[in-house]
């Protein structure tokens, strides 16, 4: 399929590469051109503007935050402007449910379609085409883009026609992970102060009823305090927790664990841990219990 | 092996039954005799007092709480009194780390050995001999009781000579589960208020990186709001959270998520949910978000 | 002094009236003209646009939220446009520190001066010219507007040249009050469930070391559960708590009590209490403890 | 009146001294005799046991915690044993509502009367006979001991016949103070990180609607970070917060702010601040926001 791809950061670049590998023809755009060049050597065409990347009628965006998406979509020479009538915008970014709703409406007014297809996974999963993709949008759009959605991940969940629902699922999923990180942080601090090796505890948990990869992988990182290099920085984790809380506020649904994590992540940033992996929220817990690391 | 078994409640009775099935000879004691009779028909001998159940030199206890253990161990005709010198007390109960430390010392003074061997699992796991057993105690004691520890569960983790460490692991493990319940409760309330079916969300999570049985089983219970019959009552969950917080207090390690869960469980009890399954902490979250159930 | 006044709501209208009473000549503007008419009969002149209210060189604004201020200041025919070079914008609204900083900069670029002068007090205090005014801004601006600041309140605190500092003080002050409300809510729920009359408790507290008007007034409202009519609605209180949390986030300073209050206020809104007085956060506490009101 | 006085610590000693000054005849008892000697030179008689201090039919106790009260009352040669039938036990200690209820019952069984009369105030207030006394107990007991209750404080509140109610009031009052400390801690951290002097903020608050002595005094301590010498140590504050939480648990009334304060105080103790004044919970807040003090 001919399609555009906008946003070639640590996640977007390997996603675009996997689309090319799967046989799609890409017109790419990135604010800083240099990041796009490697892909050109793999056959992608460089677009001068976001709008220019949309001419084929399908465009995927993978951007850092709400502001970046707003700028690329609503800005001059942006997606809204460049996408033909009937075209599809696939948004992979982790954005607020509020922005997602505004995107549905803006595209609808232009007779374009908006599909939210946020992904779970870190850059290594993006490279290996092992992302989990959760898509929601108009049935026609999903059908038309199916191969593109399957090319980037190992599992695709299509959950319905309401795009913001996919964003809510993404945020709720990140909340589950963040809550697990904070929980492990508190538990490990207790264990360390009680003279029990967290690695032993983790082995028991993972060896019995918490046999899930996130517990195993993050549990190891925390037990070994290996917060560098960051797979996903604490300050970005904080950004996501803010989105969760915004969604909770809009839905009038209190999320006290999210609030608590937010405070601890702010504390982490305040204490200079912002560039560590977001699992370093466990270090914040350790510091509060008087441990030095 | 000849051994005593004290405490034949919903957990203790099937554990004792599995010990008999595995070929052990049991002298059993329960405060209310009636519960012991079924086991007698399976070959167990009835002891008139806790002390009388200890004469074989090994005794296992599976009791409801600290008070029950204190009474059975320190009371008249209790375990301390009845266990011969060199004997082993295996404590399966979920008790405070503080009591565990006192038991180590009391048995040591009588030249007896104390082993903590708390178990993870609900009554159905106890019946199926599928418990997870975490044991800590003097090496000699562990070796001597190995077959008894293996007979009741599907996995045995021996973590060292310090008995209270096993109790800390048990409490930290329960904390992980309780935190997961609260987290799912908050996430599902958000999803429901946002018009997303929690069952779909759960399928995605369990189908990707939370492939663990506790997420799957408890997630279903919460998604279906099937809090009755209770596998483990909310008011007992609250009791366990109190033990976690007592351990955290003693170790001077703050556990804000435990505090938050405690408040929500108290709220649940106050609103008449105390006899529902402890996963009904998710209903407390739903009520706070204005949902009726 | 000749000056403009923009925003004639429940707070702004009586403030403007007191300025007229103190001898100032007002050119007023309100989005909906009808609210302005009463003041015209007291001698104020009606301006057709926000810009037109600024021609005298001093303008005060008292608006509902960030969005209203942004629209009135940055919008077409707005304050920025209408205020002469050297003019002063006095902002009485409760706004984010972030917007305050942007206003400093925007006015500076136009060679205008920005002063933040948020006020503490409810509509009855505004009517009685009994507000507490906290002002910060360029010394020249403060001096020039001194009489206008004194005309609306019973106490004026000038805290320095940095305008956003006054907004931070306002938000921190509201945080103190909100925290007191939540605290009284939790304490009264405990007392009620323990069979102690909160009114007795309040009398002791106010009669000993909490002899402050906010404790006395709000304490009575909560003890008597007299949440209507609302002096300040819960949903507006929630808006202010959001501003506090935004300030905390920007300053990288965790405020867990603010987070907790936010969640309880969201819960209150979700349970239909949004139009009650914000002290009804105490009802949320009561409901959580199983009380019906 | 002839009466006994048990417990001559930092609070009890000056209280006993003020009773003597007011004309009462005291038989005193303290576990360590040395502390009692100064009072003997002021006319008090030394009792060899707690029981011996009770013979006059009225005895006041002022002890450190539940354990001390249990030992002095229920122990050998204790108050229960020594108090004549019809005698009155005035308990000034800050104890759990649970123990208070047990004391009511134990004294009732011996046909003695129990009155709870906890006090608010630090040692300097005890010396100046400026304590706030909250009494509850059988009407006859209150009447009989009225002069003794008035001699130690500046204000006496009699709240009814149910002794534990006075303990609940004491705990709820301490909760109000602890919550104020945490609130000021969070607010001051925000102000400091925003470049606003907390002393200025405090002056505005105390100069407007928080004109209460606790805000003024504790506010100054926190603004100046003058946590030594401790008027009331953080580790004792933590003890009181535990009692509050125990009361909340018994009454099935969640108190999330108390939970939050408990975690922060545990964190303070873990970080070596346990012997500072309990207002140092504000330092915990500062450390979490990345400030060094």
| Residue pLDDT, tens place only, D223-258 | 999 999 999 999 999 999 999 999 999 999 999 999
Which is nearest to A114 in space by CA: A49, A174, A53, A61? A61
Give chain C positions within 8 Å (CB) of B256: 256
**CA C42/CA C5 separation, integer angstroms:** 14
Of B256, B271, B288, the CB nearest to C290: B271
Q: What is the largest CA-CA distance in chain A?
A: 65
Give the mean model confidence (pLDDT) for residues C201-209.
Answer: 95
How high is the mean pLDDT of chain C? 97
Give the mean model confidence (pLDDT) for residues B148-159.
Answer: 97
Residue of chain A whose alpha carbon sits nearest to that of C242: A249
Q: What's the pLDDT tens digit per position in B62-78?
A: 999 999 999 999 999 99
Q: Measured in whole angstroms, how far is the alpha carbon of residue A155 from the centre of its chain?
A: 15
Provide the 8-state DSSP code for A278: G
pLDDT at A198: 98
Of A195, A208, A212, the CB nearest to B155: A208
Give chain C positions within 8 Å (CB) of B270: 193, 288-290
Query: Which residues does B105 contact at the CB level (< 8 Å), separation at least 6?
Result: none
Confidence of residue D198 (pLDDT cuts 50, 70, 90): very high
Indicate which of D249, D263, D281, D287 best probes the interface with B, i.e. most B CBs within 10 Å of its own CB. D263
Whether residue A266 lies within 8 A of chain C, CB to CB, comes out as yes
Whether residue B259 lies within 8 A of chain D, CB to CB, comes out as yes
Which is the catalytic residue, given C21, C155, C170, C193? C170
Q: Which residue has the tokens 């939970």?
A: D259
Chains interfacing with A (3 or more CB pairs < 8 Å): B, C, D
Under an 8 A CB cutoff, do A208 and B132 touch?
A: yes
φ, ψ of residue B48 in degrees (nearest 5):
-80, -25
Helix (H, G, I), strand (E, B) or coil at C5: strand
pLDDT at C60: 98
Which is nearest to A185 in space by CA: A136, A143, A140, A218? A218
Q: What's the pLDDT tens digit per position in D38-69?
A: 899 999 999 999 999 999 999 999 999 999 99
Q: What's the pLDDT tens digit per position in C114-169?
A: 999 999 999 999 999 999 999 999 999 999 999 999 999 999 999 999 999 999 99
Indicate which of C246, C253, C254 best probes the interface with A, i.e. most A CBs within 10 Å of its own CB. C254
φ, ψ of residue C280 in degrees (nearest 5):
-70, -5
Q: For residue D56, what are the CA distances in angstroms to B23, B193, D3, D127? A: 68, 67, 5, 25
Under an 8 A CB cutoff, do C288 and B270 touch?
A: yes
**CA B158/CA B135 separation, integer angstroms:** 5
Confidence of residue B36 (pLDDT cuts 50, 70, 90): confident
**CA D65/CA D62 separation, integer angstroms:** 9
Give chain C positions within 8 Å (CB) of D182: 257
Under an 8 A CB cutoff, do B176 and A187 touch?
A: yes
Indicate which of A261, A281, A284, A288 best probes the interface with D, i.e. most D CBs within 10 Å of its own CB. A288
Chains interfacing with D (3 or more CB pairs < 8 Å): A, B, C
Give the mean model confidence (pLDDT) for residues B263-288.
Answer: 98
pLDDT at A24: 98
Under an 8 A CB cutoff, do B252 and D266 touch?
A: yes
pLDDT at D32: 86
Under an 8 A CB cutoff, do C175 and D186 touch?
A: yes
Give the mean model confidence (pLDDT) for residues B261-267.
Answer: 98
Tell me: pLDDT of B38 over 90: no
Tell me: pLDDT of B266 over 90: yes
Helices D256-270 and C256-270: angle between axes, nearest 10 degrees: 160
Query: Which residues does A182 contact at the CB level (< 8 Å), separation at least 6?
Result: A257, A260, A261, A264, A281, A282, A285, B257
DSSP β-ladder status, B2-6 and D25-29: unpaired
Indicate which of D205, D215, D266 best probes the interface with C, i.e. most C CBs within 10 Å of its own CB. D205
Under an 8 A CB cutoff, do A249 and C264 touch?
A: no
The b-or-e profile of D203-230 (16+ CB within 10 A means b, else e) is bbbbebbbebebbbebbbbbbebebeeb
pLDDT at B37: 85
Beta strands in B137-249 (DSSP E): 153-158
pLDDT at A182: 98
Give chain C positions within 8 Å (CB) of A259: 256, 259-260, 262-263
**CA D96/CA D102 separation, integer angstroms:** 10
To 5 degrees, how large is the angle CA B235–CA B116–CA D263?
A: 50
pLDDT at D37: 84
pLDDT at D53: 98
Q: Which residue has the tokens 């803006």?
A: A106
Whether residue A179 lies within 8 A of chain B, CB to CB, comes out as yes
Confidence of residue B259 (pLDDT cuts 50, 70, 90): very high
Under an 8 A CB cutoff, do D169 and C201 touch?
A: yes
Give chain B positions within 8 Å (CB) of A173: 201, 204-205
pLDDT at A34: 83
- Please say if A170 is a catalytic residue: yes
Helix (H, G, I), strand (E, B) or coil at B26: strand
Chains interfacing with C (3 or more CB pairs < 8 Å): A, B, D
Give the mean model confidence (pLDDT) for residues C263-287.
Answer: 98
CB-CB neighbours of D272 under 10 Å: 9
Q: Mind telling me how many Å the CA of A223 is from chain B's nearest CA?
A: 14
Cβ atoms of residues A36 and A4 within 8 Å: no
Tell me: pLDDT of C32 over 90: no
Whether residue C132 lies within 8 A of chain D, CB to CB, comes out as yes
Confidence of residue D33 (pLDDT cuts 50, 70, 90): confident
pLDDT at D34: 83
**CA B117/CA A191 separation, integer angstroms:** 17
Residue A46: its H or E element: strand A45-46
Q: Which residue has the tokens 């209208």?
A: C13
Give chain B positions within 8 Å (CB) of C193: 270
ipTM value, please give it: 0.97
Rg, C-alpha atoms of chain B: 20
Under an 8 A CB cutoff, do A204 and B157 touch?
A: yes
Both tokens assigned to B119: 């178990």
SS (H, E, C) A250-271: HCCCCCHHHHHHHHHHHHHHHC
Tell me: pLDDT of C37 over 90: no
pLDDT at C50: 98
Handedness of CA A84, A87, A93, A98 (dihedral sign): positive
pLDDT at D178: 98
Tell me: pLDDT of C35 over 90: no
Of C254, C263, C266, the CB nearest to A267: C254
Size of interface A-B (CB pairs under 8 A): 190
The b-or-e profile of B154-163 (16+ CB within 10 A means b, else e) is eebbbbbebb
Q: What is the largest CA-CA distance in chain B?
A: 65
* Helical H segments across chain C, by residue range: 12-21, 34-40, 66-74, 79-82, 97-109, 123-127, 139-151, 163-193, 198-206, 213-224, 234-250, 256-270, 281-288
Q: Which domains does chain B have, with CATH numbers?
A: 2-161 (3.40.50.720), 168-288 (1.10.1040.10)
Q: Mind telling me how many Å the CA of A267 is from chain C's nearest CA?
A: 6
How high is the mean pLDDT of chain D? 97
Residue of chain C whose alpha carbon sits nearest to that of B285: C267
Provide the 8-state DSSP code for D233: B
Q: How confident is chain A (293 residues) per 10-residue block, as mean pLDDT?
A: 96 97 97 87 95 98 97 98 98 98 98 98 94 97 96 96 98 98 98 97 95 95 97 96 98 98 98 98 98 94
DSSP β-ladder status, C45-46 and C25-29: parallel
Under an 8 A CB cutoff, do D253 and B266 touch?
A: yes
Tell me: pLDDT of C53 over 90: yes
First to last CA, chain A: 50
Whether residue B293 lies within 8 A of chain C, CB to CB, comes out as no
Both tokens assigned to C277: 């007085």
């Amino acid at each position: 399929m001919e399609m555009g791809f906008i946003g070639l950061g640590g996640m977007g670049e390997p996603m675009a590469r996997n689309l090319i590998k799967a046989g799609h023809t890409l017109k790419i755009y990135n604010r800083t051109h240099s990041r796009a060049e490697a892909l050109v050597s793999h056959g992608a065409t460089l677009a001068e503007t976001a709008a220019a990347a949309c001419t084929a009628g399908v465009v995927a965006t993978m951007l850092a935050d709400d502001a970046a998406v707003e700028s690329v979509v609503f800005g001059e020479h942006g997606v809204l402007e460049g996408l033909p009538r009937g075209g599809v915008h696939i948004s992979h970014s982790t954005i607020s449910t509020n922005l997602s709703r505004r995107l549905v409406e803006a595209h609808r007014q232009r007779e374009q379609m908006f599909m939210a297809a946020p992904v779970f996974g870190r850059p290594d999963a993006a490279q290996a085409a092992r992302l989990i993709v959760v898509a929601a949008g108009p049935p026609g759009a999903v059908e038309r883009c199916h191969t593109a959605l399957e090319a980037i991940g190992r599992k695709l969940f299509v959950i319905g026609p309401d795009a913001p629902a996919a964003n809510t699922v993404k945020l709720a999923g990140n909340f589950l992970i963040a809550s697990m990180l904070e929980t492990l942080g508190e538990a490990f601090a207790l264990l360390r102060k009680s003279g029990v090796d967290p690695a032993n505890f983790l082995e028991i948990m993972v060896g019995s009823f918490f046999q899930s990869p996130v517990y195993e992988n993050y549990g190891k990182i925390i037990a070994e305090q290996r917060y560098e290099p960051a797979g996903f920085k604490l300050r970005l984790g904080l950004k996501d927790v803010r989105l969760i809380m915004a969604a909770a506020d809009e839905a009038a649904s209190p999320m006290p664990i999210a609030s608590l994590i937010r405070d601890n992540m702010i504390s982490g940033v305040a204490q200079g841990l912002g560039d560590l992996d977001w699992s370093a929220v466990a270090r914040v817990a350790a510091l509060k219990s008087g441990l030095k690391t």
